[in-house]
A and B are shown apart, each in its own frame.
Chain A
Amino acid sequence: EVQLVESGGDLVQPGRSLRLSCAASGFTFDDYAMHWVRQAPGKGLEWVSGISWNSGSIGYADSVKGRFTISRDNAKNSLYLQMNSLRAEDTALYYCAKDINYGENDGYFDYWGQGTLVTVSS
């Protein structure tokens, strides 16, 4: 059974940093691209970032480019999102999602975690 378990969400002040993690199990992690998708309270879904199976291809939404860094450790079956210079508008539930492809730029998401909540407020 595929499982994606996010962690690391917290209440942080604007301008501070946070690192999210996603632990994957139930599939061959290094065969697939992985993504972060967020959902602000009461709002829709927004793709944040994606990374290919071997970290060779990475993409970011314009809203987070230059502030967020996605990475993965295939030996640990884990996905990460380093979030710097956080803003109030980054407040959201952050989901980890598995791609159906190994590349990060043309697949859909067949499994999602339950999300970890990031709140940016003073």
Chain B
Amino acid sequence: EIVLTQSPGTLSLSPGERATLSCRASQSVRSSYLAWYQQKPGQAPRLLIYGASSRATGIPDRFSGSGSGTDFTLTISRLEPEDFAVFYCQQYGNSPRTFGQGTKVEIK
């Protein structure tokens, strides 16, 4: 199975700053089948990005995804107060689907 390693574990930033989250796969992710989800406390995960770089419906353009092969990045250009949450990457090109362990973006 593909292991996804997210870094850093926690990112402490202020509103307005740029956030860069990394997701590294133990082997190449087929066809860049990599998604990102945001989860706020007490809520279900919400799809942000699919296909490594395509924004889901209704997701603001301050969220962007990039990468291919084994290295992927989620960037939040300017953090808004509502963006602070835990972010998970997921690969869906190989069975079983796997998730990274998450990166928490917290208010500094």
Contacts and interface: CB of A to CB of B under 8 A. Distances in A.
A52 B41 CA distance: 30
Contacts of A62: 96
A108 B90 contact: yes
Interface residues of A, number: 21
A32 interface: no
Contacts, number: 50
Dominant secondary structure at the B interface: loop
Contacts of A121: none
A45 interface: yes
Contacts of A59: 95-96
Contacts of B35: 108-109
Interface stretch (B18-26, B66-74, B97-105): B97-105
Nearest to B6: A44
A46 interface: yes
A31 B83 CA distance: 32
Contacts of A114: 43-44
Please provide the 7 A-B residue pairs with the shortest distance between their CB atoms, ordered closest to farther.
A112-B44, A108-B35, A45-B99, A47-B97, A108-B50, A44-B102, A44-B101
Interface of A: 44-47, 50, 59, 61-62, 95, 100, 105-115
